[in-house]
Amino acid sequence: MSKFKSFLACDLGAESGRIIRGKFDGKKLCIAELHRFTHKPIFKSGTLYWDWDHILQEVISGIKIGIEKTNGNISGISCNSWAVDFGLLDSQKKLLSNPVSYRDHRTDRMPQRFNEIISEGELFLRTGTALESITTLCQLRSIVESNTKRLEREHKLLFISDLIHHALSETAVTDITMASASQMMNVKSLTWDREILKKLKVPSDILPDIVKPASIIGILKKEISTKQIPVIITASHDTTSAIAAIAKDNNTAFLSSGTWCMVGCEVNEPIGELDAAEELFGNFRLADSNWGFIRGIMGFWLIQQCRKIWEKKGLLFNYSDIVLLAEKSTPFKSLINPDNPKFLSPDDMIKAIQLFCVRTKQSSPTTPGEISRTIFESLAFDVKWTLEKIEYFTKKNFKHLHIVGGGCKNKLFCQLIADVTGLSVITGPAEATAIGNILLQLVATKELGTQDDIRSILENSIEMKTYESKKIQIIEEKYSFFKELRSYH
């Protein structure tokens, strides 16, 4: 008999997806990547969609690889993904169309039009999230305004990870971590806010039941495997899944780094100050019933988009190459505000960065190294600015910042954040989202019980690196300039 149990985590990001196998021996968790694939949105008839057939096919292929490698001895499967985006199922439980990307322009001016119906302040107090064009609520309202009949009562909305779970088990539910990121869940009742939905003419009947994280919701379909493999809903929102892989305390903030950089800390109750809404903070329910007070920064989307343009020019850089080129470039030559809407979905990210620098009377970066360094340094200053706001709203005083996700492999980025913030920066694991996913599967299957159990497994399983701050005189001057850039529109 095997001395360990195996679990599969499907980690879907906005650029790539992975199937990760976790092996648990009772004291230690070991992970291995079984399958990785890339995906990108497709533009059709004026709308930006996710290539759902490709994503689903790759996910199932990866799961079958895991089943083959273990002879079907899998104790659980779960998926996590980015939030806000969704698909609609018809009355026959068939997907009506590919899910639309949150970067589509259909919601560009939606927040301004909301004020005619409900104030931003009321939305924040009721749902805990600031009004941004990308939220699920804004996307649904755009469908209502288009006068199409895509929101019929018999339809069912499922978020991206929930669509995967439905394809694996035919179960149509969501969990509270994903629901809280949609701007449709009431932070007091922890249920869908039907009053807001009614005001915006969004039918609440289309929304799925909300279940607790770490719940077994079904069995894998027989056409995928004849073994009785549980399908588990963990923390479907990838940010909250990553946070589950962090041993948190009152002195430590966290940064989940990927396409978006999600900066925040754990709090007992949602922060309801309206000034926080103006700065686009959100309260996201965590798997352990606490809340994450979090602000999203544009993140490595900036690098991803530049890399695609370099590839078109025949410059094939991997991410290690990009970091090396940035290290060799002149420090603090130019800065951008990553949160400026101009960087959300430009046709050419490099030109958008260069134009921003020209218009703010800076030297324009030209080489891949200069452009990458500009991005990394700007993100570090944005993290500092966000942490200062978090300390103000929560009355906390951080000594450490824990970075997880792909960004913790970037030594330049991590050292920059330590230097800019003055905090001790702890990094690891890079695969925090998948590890958090598997840890919560262990809770669902009764292998783990308490937060102390999870902390013990993390200590036994993960190697972490610490970066200490170096005093660089120019940083305060550059930070003052960065704050000025935040007012440039």
Phi/psi at 175 (5° precision): -115, 170
Could you tell me the two tokens for 196?
Answer: 């807001």
User: Annotated catalytic sites, by residue?
Assistant: 238
Residue 382's Cβ-count burial label (10 Å; 0-12, 13-18, 19+) is: buried
What is the C-alpha to C-alpha distance for residues 188 and 178, in angstroms, rounded to an integer?
Answer: 16
Rounded Cα gap, residues 110 and 103, in angstroms: 13
Q: CA separation (Å) from 104 to 15, 48, 133, 188? A: 15, 5, 10, 31
Give the side-chain half-sphere CA count within 13 A for 287. 31
Q: What one-character-per-residue DSSP string does 186-225 give? A: -TTT-SB-HHHHHHTT--GGGSPEEE-SSEEEEE--TTT-
Residue type, 200: L
Please tell me whether residue 253 adopts helix, strand or coil conformation. Answer: strand
Name the nearest CA neighbour of 360 among 335, 327, 382, 330: 335
* CA–CA separation, 125 and 127 (whole Å): 6
Amino acid identity at 390: I
Output the CA angle 408-425-488, nearest 5 degrees: 80
Q: How far is 131 from 229, CA to CA, in rounded Å?
A: 40
34: nearest Cα among 74, 65, 70, 71: 65
Residue appearing with tokens 């001895």: 73
Provide the terminal-to-terminal Cα distance of the chain, rounded to the nearest Å.
63
Comparing CA positions, the residue from 179, 24, 45 lying closest to residue 100 is 45
Using alpha carbons, list the distances in angstroms from residue 348 to 136, 343, 344.
26, 9, 11
Distance CA 302, CA 219 (A): 39
Cβ(368)–Cβ(322) below 8 Å: yes
